[in-house]
Amino acid sequence: MRLVYNKAGTTDTMATERPDSTQKPGKPTRTVGALVHAERLTQIAFILPAAVFVGWIAGAGLDKWLHQDWIYLVGLVLGVVAGFVQVFRLVASEGRQIDKEGQ
């Protein structure tokens, strides 16, 4: 403890001990871990539509640039394929992580 003077002229005590910065943070609680897993899996709801939208926009841009009217379909298909690939990769990595934590 340290003695400090305030503006009113009275004395107060102040703790001078600092938290130990060498301590490692504790393992997240089970609830926090479950919320992290749930957040990662909710990405699926955004990945697939975003990939399809990007593919559609890219195809539409190529349609205008090349004066065609069918390339947007190729962009849609490529967006769907890219979205599903990303979804499968995400689900597989989460499955491996859950299996690792269970052992």
pTM of this structure: 0.62
CB atoms within 10 A of CB 52: 20
Percent of the chain with pLDDT over 70: 71
- The reported pLDDT for the residue numbered 45 is 87
Higher per-residue confidence, 8 vs 49: 49
Higher per-residue confidence, 14 vs 85: 85
At 38-74, the pLDDT tens digits run 888 788 889 999 999 999 999 999 999 999 999 999 9
Distance (Å) of CA 49 to CA 2, 40, 52, 91: 60, 16, 5, 16
